[in-house]
C-alpha cells in the first residue's frame, strides 16, 4: 500500500513516532520532499508563541523513526548548540536528520542565523556520518526549505537508485540493503 504525507494525521502521527521502532510494514513513508516534512510536523508548531526547534530522526530510507524537541526558545529567538542537534540521532543510530523550527512572527523566510546553523549542522553531520536532509522553517501555515529541497530531492533519487540493482532488478533479501 502506498502512503503519502497527506494520509497522515500529523500531530497524532508525530507523537506515535517519538522514540519507537516499528516493523517495516508499519513504517511511515519516506520524507521525500520539504512539503512532506511540513505536513508531518505542522501540528507541532500550530499556535506556538515561542520558537521551537525539533529534529526528525530518519532511517537510511529517510523514513521517520522519531522526533526530538531540541530547543524551546523565546518569541525573539533561541541559541542553538550544534552538538545538541545530533544527540538523539547518535543515541538512536539514525542515518539522517531533518531540522525544523518555527518563526512565531509567521514569516517562514530563513534568517541569517538559520542559514548559519544549517551550514554548521551539515558540516557536523558529515563528520558524524549523519546526513542533514534539510532545515524547514515554519510560520503561519507556510514553510520554507533552507536548502530549497535540493538535498531532499537528491537523497530521494539516490534512495530510489539504490533500491534497484545494476540490471534493474530489486536487491535480493539479505543483500545488506536493509531499512536501518
Domain ranges of the chain: 5-162
Give me the CATH code for the 5-162 domain, please. 3.40.140.10
Q: Tell me the C-alpha distance between 122 and 56, whole Å.
A: 15
**Model confidence at 164: pLDDT above 90:** no
| The pLDDT of residue 29 | 86
- What is the model's pLDDT at position 177? 42
User: Which pLDDT band holds residue 69 (cuts at 50, 70, 90)?
Assistant: very high
Please give the average per-residue pLDDT across 140-166, as a whole number: 69
Q: In the predicted model, what is the mean pLDDT of residues 35-62?
A: 91
Question: For position 49, what pLDDT does the model report?
Answer: 86
pLDDT confidence of 178, banded at 50, 70, 90? very low
pTM: 0.73
**What per-residue confidence (pLDDT) applies to 65?**
94
CA–chain centroid gap for 176, Å, is: 24
Q: Residue length, the chain?
A: 180
Query: Which residue has better confidence, 135 or 23?
Result: 135
Q: Specify the range with the lowest mean pLDDT, choosing from 72-81, 106-115, 127-136, 154-163.
A: 154-163
Residues of the chain with pLDDT > 90: what percent? 48
- Could you report the per-residue pLDDT of 100-116, keeping only the tens digit for each? 999 998 999 999 999 99
Q: What average pLDDT does range 66-72 have in this prediction? A: 91
pLDDT at residue 12 in the model: 44
Q: Quick: pLDDT tens for 15-48.
A: 444 444 555 556 788 898 889 999 999 898 888 8
Amino acid at each position: 500500500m502506498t502512503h503519502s504525507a497527506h494520509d497522515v494525521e500529523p500531530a497524532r502521527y508525530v507523537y506515535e513516532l517519538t522514540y519507537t521502532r516499528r516493523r517495516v510494514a508499519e513504517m511511515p513513508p519516506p520524507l521525500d520532499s520539504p512539503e512532506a516534512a511540513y505536513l508531518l510536523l505542522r501540528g507541532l508548531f500550530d499556535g506556538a508563541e515561542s520558537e521551537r526547534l525539533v529534529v526528525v530522526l530518519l532511517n537510511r530510507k529517510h523514513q521517520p523513526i522519531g522526533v526530538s524537541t531540541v530547543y524551546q526558545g523565546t518569541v525573539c529567538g533561541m541559541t542553538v548548540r550544534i552538538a545538541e542537534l545530533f544527540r538523539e540521532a547518535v543515541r538512536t543510530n539514525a542515518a539522517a536528520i531533518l531540522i525544523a523550527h518555527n518563526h512565531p512572527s509567521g514569516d517562514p523566510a530563513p534568517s541569517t542565523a538559520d542559514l548559519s546553523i544549517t551550514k554548521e549542522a551539515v558540516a557536523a553531520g558529515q563528520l558524524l556520518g549523519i546526513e542533514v536532509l534539510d532545515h524547514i522553517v515554519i510560520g503561519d501555515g507556510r514553510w520554507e526549505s533552507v536548502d530549497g529541497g535540493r538535498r531532499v530531492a537528491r537523497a530521494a533519487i539516490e534512495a530510489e537508485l539504490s533500491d534497484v540493482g545494476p540490471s534493474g532488478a530489486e536487491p535480493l533479501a539479505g543483500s545488506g540493503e536493509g531499512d536501518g
